[in-house]
Structure 1
């Protein structure tokens, strides 16, 4: 990763971890992804943007395999997603062959704009929901 991209990554993730995520996680209608910590085994909740299409929930990670929640998914693909205030269990799958930029055009605009602006290694995910 180039020096600029590394600085950008550290600045954005620091802001998200300390300010953005704690605030957004408290909003009742914010979509949340709950993973299991790969080291701690504890639930980890991350605000995300995405869209339910049928029995699947689609989202794009802005940092791909460098994101902590992606590393948690790799260790434990069983996740929960809170959509419109209701929790849904499912299995998360990375879809590296998907065109993440095209996928973002089908997802909520505000989050997609932010992901495109800060993302350096976009990776699409599909969560196959159990209900």
Structure 2
């Protein structure tokens, strides 16, 4: 990762951790991804932009395997997703062969624009929802 991308990553993640995520996780319509902390074992909730298609929920990580929630998924792929105020359990899969830019074109516009603007290593994620 270039020095520019590293500084961008640090600035954006600091803002998200301290300001963005604490505010958006409280919004009733915000989609949340809940992973299990790989060290703590505690639930970790991250606001995400994605879309459900049948029994799948798709999202794109802006920092790929550097994202904390992706690292949590790698340690334990069992997740929960809050969509329209309802929690759904499922299993997350990293899909590096998927075209993340093409995927963003079919996901919610506002979030997709932010991911394109701030992201440096896009990675598609598919959550297979239980039932």
TM-score, with length taken from structure 2:
0.99
Task: Work out the CA distance in 1 between the residues paired with 2:125 and 2:5.
Answer: 22
In the other structure, the counterpart of 2:38 is: 38
Task: Work out the CA distance in 2 between the residues paired with 1:9 and 1:125.
Answer: 19
4+ runs of 1 displaced by more than 2 Å?
none
- For 1:1-131, list aligned pairs within 5 A: 1-131=1-131
Task: Work out the CA distance in 1 between the residues paired with 2:46 and 2:72.
Answer: 11
Question: For each residue in 1:78-117, what CA deviation from the matched residue of structure 2 results, as whole angstroms up to 9, or x when unmatched?
Answer: 0000000000000000010000000000000000000000
Task: Work out the CA distance in 2 between the residues paired with 1:4 and 1:108.
Answer: 27
SS in 1 for 2:121: coil
In the TM superposition, residue 68 of structure 1 has moved relative to its aligned partner by 0.2
Gaps of 5+ in 2: none
Task: Work out the CA distance in 2 between the residues paired with 1:73 and 1:106.
Answer: 23
TM-score, with length taken from structure 1:
0.99
SS in 2 for 1:39: coil
In the TM superposition, residue 53 of structure 1 has moved relative to its aligned partner by 0.2
Task: Work out the CA distance in 2 between the residues paired with 1:70 and 1:10.
Answer: 16
Task: Work out the CA distance in 1 between the residues paired with 2:5 and 2:97.
Answer: 23
Task: Work out the CA distance in 2 between the residues paired with 1:109 and 1:73.
Answer: 25
In the TM superposition, residue 11 of structure 1 has moved relative to its aligned partner by 0.1
In the TM superposition, residue 74 of structure 1 has moved relative to its aligned partner by 0.1
In the comparison of the two structures, how many residue pairs are matched? Answer: 131
